[in-house]
Amino acid sequence: MAGEFIVAATGCPTGVAHTYMAEAALKKAAEKRGIEIRVETHGQVGLENGLTPEEIERADGVIVAADKEVQIQRFAGKPVVEVGVKEGIHHADDLIDRVLAKAQSRERAGAAAAQDVTEDENDFLNVQAIDETQGTGWRKTGRAIYKHLMNGVSYMLPFVVGGGVLIAVSFLFGIYSADPSSEEYNEFAHMLNEVGGTGLGLMVPVLSAFIAYSISSRPGLTVGLITGLLASNMGTGFLGGIVTGFLAGYGMLLLGKLFEKMPKSLVGLKAIFLMPVLGTLIFGGITYVISSPMSSISSSLEEFLTGFQNANPIVLGLILGIMCAFDMGGPVNKAAYVTGVALLGEGNLEFMAAVSAACIAPPMITAIAVTLFPKGFEPGERRAGYVNYALGATHITEGAIPFAARNPLVVIPILMLGSSIAAILTLLWGVTSPAPHGGFLVLPIVGNPFGWIAAIAIGSLVAGVVYGAYRVSRVKKAATATAAAPVPVA
């Protein structure tokens, strides 16, 4: 094929390193073969070098090397090869071969009918094009779910970081400095607490909205944001955001298919009125029903934990460590945290210190793992891990979520191990903390601060070594498998 021209889109969940490494690899491979290529990137700063409709139309084929939503429905009717971002880095030549082979055989990734609808209709009628390039099989289904989840997490994390750090800083002015009725009240601290709380409060709605957006574009974004906020207000934690995100995303996808046979004259009514109203009603109603049982989990666990406040330190520390690392912001984690806050009012300062230690440990574990075992992690993961030193130090457990999401059945138990050790040692050494948040910023008011730091460090180090060794072993196994198996060319 003479004068080939292909376009590509790259993107990774954190949008830091892999996105641009895949871009560079594709450009280099195309240049060596005299093929013209245009690559758009979906990094942390957003879309860069966006592809124009004219370029997409002219392209012989499309390569999508991404682990997040890149609006693949734009490429309906074009030969598309869709893979993870790592494939774009390590197998750029093979991807070019595959997309050119598809172009030569006139394969098409999207529905032909999509060529006759308007841009606005695409958002509502043809979001199924996302799935048509995925093929079948559990592996691809799992990859699609992971991509949608990480798309939500990538948008959520800045809210967690911005809001959580400001709340932590507000405690530097005093434990009750944000309370107007307290003698410690400080107006600036109150402002920090309000702004930070608002940012942190958007965590669940944003997570839900962008999971849904990844699945079904703009219709999912609207309903996902509404249902996520509803779930958050009803106390479901970030797990509620995951549930409502997938509910709204796939629900709106189904709703769009049900409306496909409507006359074209009613497309405007459907897009502006029927879809958002019915979607909000149906999936908002489902969220309203399921949120109460989810939030009741927290209430039941709070009562359970209150009864254990004077239990054996090893037993209590083990329970707190498992709960805090189980869902890192979800109803189980929240139950432990809220119980600790409630018991502060009864004068039990040791319980809160143990909860804080268990919440600080997960991000610290990932940070230590990428530091001690860098070969087990990709560059983007290492950078995210280094950031987790700061997030852990300010009691932002959610920094560990992207790491846990990659393989929760293995990683979460490792995080539970580290959190449990930190909580047990904190209780055994009699550490006390009157602050419900703040991480190491509240060390001046922590009883036995050196014991607290040592407990967190020991728990994080033990689990960090286990996690790092596990990741190194995975990299070695993957390298062996890659060397043994040929890469398919079509």
Handedness of CA 138, 140, 141, 147 (dihedral sign): positive
The residue type found at 81 is: V
Nearest Cα to Cα of residue 207 among 344, 405, 468: 405
Nearest Cα to Cα of residue 399 among 377, 382, 384, 420: 384
Is residue 412 within 8 A of residue 344, CB to CB? The reply is no
Neighbouring-strand partners of residue 6: 37, 61
**What is the C-alpha separation between 311 and 233, in angstroms, rounded?**
32
3-state helix, strand, coil in the chain (%, to 5): 70, 5, 20
Is residue 39 within 8 A of residue 5, CB to CB? The reply is no
Helices (H) and strands (E) in the chain, counts: 19, 5
- The question of whether 359 is a catalytic residue gets the answer no
Q: Tokens 């109803």 belong to which residue?
A: 331
Nearest Cα to Cα of residue 102 among 77, 128, 121: 77
**What is the C-alpha separation between 208 and 245, in angstroms, rounded?**
4
**What is the C-alpha separation between 450 and 147, in angstroms, rounded?**
41
**What is the C-alpha separation between 65 and 403, in angstroms, rounded?**
20
Burial of 204 (0-12, 13-18, 19+ CB in 10 A): buried
What does the DSSP assignment read for 413-459? HHHHHHHHHHHHHHHHTT-B---SS-GGGGGGGSBSHHHHHHHHHHH
Of the candidates 6, 12, 192, 364, the residue annotated as catalytic is 12
**What is the C-alpha separation between 57 and 78, in angstroms, rounded?**
8
**What is the C-alpha separation between 8 and 23, in angstroms, rounded?**
8
* Enzyme catalytic residues: 12
